[in-house]
Amino acid sequence: MDAIYQSLAELEKNHGSAALCTVIKSEGSTPRHVGSKMLVYPDGHFIGTVGGGELEQRVLKEARMALEDGQARVLHYSMVDPSRGDPGVCGGQVEVFVEPILPDPQVVIIGAGHVGKAIVHLAKWLGFRVAVSDDRAELCNPEATPGADAYHPVRMSELPKHIEFDRRTFVILTTRGSNVDVDGLAPLLDLPAAYIGVIGSKRRWASTVKGLKAQGVSEEKLAKVHSPIGLELQAETPEEIAVSIMAEILMIRDKGTGKQMKAGKMPVVSEQ
Are 123 and 199 within one domain? yes
In a domain, residue 96? The reply is: yes
In a domain, residue 267? The reply is: no
pLDDT at 190 over 90: yes
The predicted-structure confidence for 43-69, as pLDDT tens digits, reads as follows 989 999 988 788 889 999 999 999 988
Give how many domains the chain has, as a whole number: 2
Residue 119: pLDDT band (50, 70, 90) is: very high
Are 124 and 245 within one domain? yes
Separation CA 72–CA 63 (nearest Å): 9
Are 213 and 123 within one domain? yes
Are 246 and 130 within one domain? yes
Separation CA 121–CA 117 (nearest Å): 7
Are 75 and 151 within one domain? no
Which stretches does DSSP call E strand in the chain? 18-27, 37-40, 46-48, 73-78, 93-101, 106-110, 129-133, 150-152, 169-173, 195-198, 225-226
pLDDT at 269 over 70: no
- pTM attached to this predicted model: 0.81
In a domain, residue 110? The reply is: yes
- The pLDDT of residue 253: 93
Among 194, 202, 154, CA closest to 178:
202
Are 110 and 55 within one domain? no
Of 55, 78, 101, the domain-final residue: 101
Q: What number of other Cβ atoms are within 10 A of residue 64's Cβ? A: 17
Are 45 and 111 within one domain? no
* 138 CB-contact burial (10 Å; exposed 0-12 / middle 13-18 / buried 19+): exposed
Are 232 and 141 within one domain? yes
In a domain, residue 164? The reply is: yes
Are 117 and 144 within one domain? yes
In a domain, residue 7? The reply is: no
In a domain, residue 43? The reply is: yes
Are 71 and 58 within one domain? yes
In a domain, residue 260? The reply is: no
Of 101, 117, 138, the domain-final residue: 101
Are 163 and 233 within one domain? yes
The answer to whether residues 247 and 253 touch, using CB atoms and an 8 Å cutoff, is no
Of 101, 128, 150, the domain-final residue: 101
- The pLDDT of residue 267: 55
Q: Provide the CATH number for the domain around residue 202.
A: 3.40.50.720
In a domain, residue 6? The reply is: no
Separation CA 225–CA 140 (nearest Å): 24
Burial 172-194 (b: 16+ CB within 10 A, else e): bbbbeebebbbbbbbebbebebb
The answer to whether residues 110 and 159 touch, using CB atoms and an 8 Å cutoff, is yes
Domain that holds residue 66: 15-101
The predicted-structure confidence for 61-116, as pLDDT tens digits, reads as follows 999 999 988 899 999 888 655 555 555 556 678 899 999 999 899 999 999 999 99
The answer to whether residues 19 and 67 touch, using CB atoms and an 8 Å cutoff, is yes
Are 184 and 227 within one domain? yes
Show Cβ contacts of residue 114 under 8 Å, excluding neighbours closer than 6 positions. 238
